[in-house]
Amino acid sequence: MFMKPTVEKALEEWKAALDLTQERAVNVLRLALPGLGPSPKPSYCCPVTLTVDKPSGVGEGRVCVDDDARITVSLDDVPNVVLTGAVEQVFGTSLFDGARGTTLEEAEPGTYAYDDETTSAEYEVTLGDVDTGRLYVAYVPVPDAVALLDAMSTAREDHDQELVAADGT
């Protein structure tokens, strides 16, 4: 395909800016959730895939950055207390379907969802009945994903401090 030199140059500049955006997204995601590391990407997945590469107390799974720098997070075995603490910090009370009139901390085990009509992001939190659950979010803008992952990391740190204080060690 032949393009005018000015168009070709502008396209190259756009690609360079996109690559830089993805690099910066990876950096801030890794800072927000310690333990995220590079991962081989499956052929069907986003251009950038990160996984929780060490036990971090915030579950295990992956975080993907797509071509539009939107984030998908899929984490299993997340302590319910971490999930509910992070969601309450980022979203406040009773935003998720099925949890109306109560906080997620007070909610029964089950799956709670929220679709953001402004960004088209999808959020799904599953509270398990054995103290761990699942977080799945898709098409989330970088700032929103970072806020949620950072809140999860903070909720885990707070929970660990509470356990130490309660244990007296």
Domain boundaries, the chain: 5-167
State the chain's mean pLDDT as an integer: 87
Nearest-10 crossing angle of helices 142-167, 80-91: 130
Please state the pTM of the whole predicted model.
Answer: 0.87
pLDDT of residue 68: 84
pLDDT of residue 99: 65
Residue 42: pLDDT over 90: no
pLDDT of residue 148: 95
* Percent of the chain whose pLDDT exceeds 70: 89
Q: pLDDT per residue over 92-128, tens digit each?
A: 766 676 666 667 788 889 998 889 899 999 999 999 9
> Which CA distances in Å does 116 have to 14, 23, 82, 97?
28, 25, 22, 12
Pair 148, 73: CB distance under 8 Å: yes
* 107 vs 72, more confident: 72
pLDDT of residue 92: 74
Pair 135, 153: CB distance under 8 Å: no
Q: pLDDT tier at 47 (50, 70, 90 boundaries)?
A: confident
